[in-house]
Homo-oligomer: A and B are copies of this chain.
Amino acid sequence: MPDDFDLRILTALQADARMPANDLADRVGLSAPACYRRTRALRETGAIEREIAIVSPKTMGWTITMIVLVTLERDRGRIIDDLVRSLKVAPEVMDVWYVTGDHDLVLHVAAHDMASYDDFTRTTLHAAEHVRSFKTLVVMDHAKRNAALPPAHLG
């Protein structure tokens, strides 16, 4: 169970994973080695899943992204695992959410252009069993991109 020191560390590292342990120490009120030990423990327990650079999509050659709302046949059971497995492997697929409501899956997909997105839908979605239908919402602007979570509530 994380205490407030841990939550402060996590909140700081969510904003800047490269913050030196010394700055972290000042912020959370511990010594640098104490911050380091806690940070290491947070990594080992999986509270920190990974530490990554957020890169501009255009720089990486991904010019468009789509939100895809997928509706499955109404006997979806474990068979959709096959679909999800193929989505996990597909590099263009950045996020897969299982949802309840008007749809069953929501995807966040990157593409170089519309033609390559069409390819993706053909090989991955149209080809899949149990996909009844899907709707593509083309992203015009990613107005807020907060890969980090909201800050934790401190006790």
Contact = CB atoms under 8 A, between A and B. Distances in A.
A16 interface: yes
A154 to B, nearest CB: 10
Copy tally for this chain in the complex stands at 2
A76 B120 CA distance: 32
A37 interface: no
A110 interface: yes
Say which size band chain A's interface belongs to. 35 or more
B150 A106 contact: no
Contact of A150 (B84, B92, B100, B101): B92
A88 interface: yes
A108 B67 CA distance: 11
5 contacts: A88-B143, A91-B150, A95-B144, A99-B139, A147-B147
